[in-house]
Amino acid sequence: MSKIQESGDRVVANVERVIVGKHAEVQLALVGLLCRGHLLIEDVPGTGKTVLAKAIARSLGCTFRRIQFTPDLLPSDVTGLSIYNQKTQEFEFRPGPIMSQVVLADEINRATPKTQSALLECMEERQATIDGVTHPMPDPFLVIATQNPIEYEGTFALPEAQLDRFMLRLRLGYPAPIEEIVILDEQKRTHPIDTIEEVCSLAELRELQAAVREIYVDATVSEYIVRLVNATRVHPDVHLGASPRGSIALYRSGQARAALLGRDYVIPDDVKALAEPALAHRLIIKTSSTIREISAASVVRELLETVPVEAPPSRASGGSRVELEEARVRGPR
């Protein structure tokens, strides 16, 4: 596990040469990358969303493409299209910018739902079907999408299916005054992003992603994740709770966080630290609760305080274990 921690610290330190004072957020972005997940950065303009994506791509030696989402953007502008070649008299596929290892979907909510839906297959199945032909995405494949939470004029809200495909949502926020002074001094002559170099090869990244899957997760931690996710589905202020994809996101991200902290096992504190980034964007709050200024993040924080880490004695006595084994024997229905 020391190798994962050392490599992670090296990447985080390299990115922090550009993103000042956001250690937790940079580490969270690396967690998503190690889990082969996608990131949604929701923040006001100018806080470093685009720079974060570029710094990650350059630190890992990944190919990077930026897609500026606008209302007139077409699905073929994202995935690519087949063009007829008069010389060969055959159709040739011209890949779109989505065929890259790190893709920045800038202002994703400014594109129409038709264009947004072009990302659904790419993000979940890591492939794109154009004209009946399936084209695989490169490995690794990470989508970092940004959106402005303030300005909604001319935007299209992301559908639930789209939001659910993002493993983590994070916010960078404004820097502290002393950190902003450092930013001004560093950008006096050139931008620090121009000096970012590769510190982790693609082969090493793939090894890290495979190693993260081997991090041990005890059954009690898995049960805690399920109880926490189930609690979002029955909360009185929630219209639609987190899906099983949310449980998997919390499970996988817990493994990555434990590895980055030098552990080969996941503890409940990993789950608590990642619950809000992994679950809040998947919840739909009732309109009546929204009027009372209840947010998805506040619901998740409330559940972290009320849902016990240990199962109640009546459930921990063995009955739930028997049910679990029976479910495994039956298999998926």
Q: What is the CATH number of the domain that holds 324?
A: 1.10.8.80
Amino acid identity, residue 224?
Answer: Y
Q: For residue 313, what pLDDT is reported?
A: 62
Number of independent structural domains in the chain: 2
User: How would you write the pLDDT of the chain (333 residues) with one tens digit per residue?
Assistant: 578 888 888 999 989 888 888 888 999 999 999 999 999 998 888 888 888 888 888 888 888 899 999 889 998 889 988 888 888 888 888 888 999 988 999 888 888 888 888 888 889 899 988 888 888 999 889 999 988 876 666 678 888 888 899 999 988 888 888 988 888 888 877 888 888 888 888 888 889 999 999 999 999 999 999 999 999 999 998 888 899 999 999 999 999 999 999 998 999 999 999 999 999 999 998 888 888 888 889 999 999 999 998 876 654 434 455 455 555 556 655
Which of 144, 179, 212 is the C-terminal boundary of a domain? 212
Which of 212, 241, 273 is the C-terminal boundary of a domain? 212
Q: For residue 317, what pLDDT is reported?
A: 39
Give the separation between CA 314 and CA 165, rounded to whole angstroms.
35
Could you tell me the pTM of the whole model? 0.85
Q: Are 8 and 264 in contact (CB under 8 A)?
A: no
Same domain? 226 vs 281: yes
Same domain? 57 vs 17: yes
Same domain? 77 vs 94: yes
Same domain? 62 vs 170: yes
| Helix, strand or coil, per DSSP, at residue 195 | helix
Same domain? 140 vs 45: yes
Q: What is the CATH number of the domain that holds 107?
A: 3.40.50.300
* Length of the chain as a residue count: 333
Q: For residue 330, what pLDDT is reported?
A: 61
Sign (positive/negative) of CA torsion 306, 308, 314, 320?
positive
Q: For residue 218, what pLDDT is reported?
A: 92
Specify which residues 41 forms β-bridges with. Answer: 146, 170
Q: For residue 322, what pLDDT is reported?
A: 47
Q: For residue 51, what pLDDT is reported?
A: 87
| Helix, strand or coil, per DSSP, at residue 143 | strand
Q: For residue 54, what pLDDT is reported?
A: 86
Q: For residue 62, what pLDDT is reported?
A: 84
Same domain? 207 vs 220: no
Q: For residue 228, what pLDDT is reported?
A: 93
Which three-class secondary structure string do you get for 38-103?
Answer: CEEEECCCCCCHHHHHHHHHHHHCCCEEEEECCCCCCHHHHHEEEEEECCCCEEEEEECCCCCCEE
Parent domain of 155 = 1-212
Same domain? 128 vs 197: yes
Which of 212, 243, 274 is the C-terminal boundary of a domain? 212
Same domain? 198 vs 254: no
